[in-house]
């Protein structure tokens, strides 16, 4: 499924980071790092150059949409999956326009997460 593609997981909740890590590792993705806000996401992206980033929309310091725009300006190759709660679903249109590949909604359904990431 994941065929060893590298993933950076960005979320300010350690519970969410760990949930995604478990789901994606079970699907044979390679988790290369974690970040807890948009600023850290940008620096970790530059350092690790993952294939895919799971990027939370609402975070402190720099939100996911700002981070998305910066990362996409560095590389258009990287695939970015926005992670959002139902309450922030309106942000998905904005993030798609900024270059996001897809999105997943918390709380996660394992099959949905795997199907979204496996298509990238």
Within 8 A by CB and 6+ apart from 12, the residues are 36, 37, 56, 59, 60
CB crowding 64-86: b at 16 or more within 10 Å, else e: bbbbbeebeeeeeebbbbbbbee
Computed from CA positions of residues 96, 100, 106, 112, in that sequence, does the dihedral angle turn out positive or negative? positive
Which domains occur in the chain, in start order?
A: 6-118 (3.40.50.2300)
Global pTM exceeds 0.85: yes
Distances (CA, A) of 68 to 3, 27, 41, 57: 24, 24, 9, 9
**Residues 7 and 32 sit within 8 Å (Cβ to Cβ):** yes
pLDDT by position in tens, the chain (length 120): 778 999 999 999 999 999 999 999 999 999 999 999 999 999 999 999 999 999 999 999 999 999 999 999 999 999 999 999 877 778 899 999 999 999 999 999 999 999 999 999
Beta-sheet strand order (sheet of 6-10): 30-35, 6-10, 52-56, 79-85, 102-106
């Amino acid at each position: 499924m994941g065929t060893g593609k590298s993933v950076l997981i960005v979320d300010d909740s350690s519970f969410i980071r760990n949930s995604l890590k478990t789901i994606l590792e079970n699907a044979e993705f390679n988790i290369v790092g974690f970040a807890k806000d948009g600023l850290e996401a940008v620096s970790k992206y530059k350092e690790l150059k993952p294939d895919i980033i799971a990027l939370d929309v609402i975070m402190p310091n720099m939100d996911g949409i700002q981070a998305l725009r910066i990362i996409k300006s560095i590389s258009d190759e990287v695939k970015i999956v926005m992670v959002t709660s139902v309450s922030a679903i309106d942000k998905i249109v904005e993030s798609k326009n900024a270059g996001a590949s897809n999105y997943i909604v918390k709380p996660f359904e394992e099959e949905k997460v795997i199907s979204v990431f496996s298509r990238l």
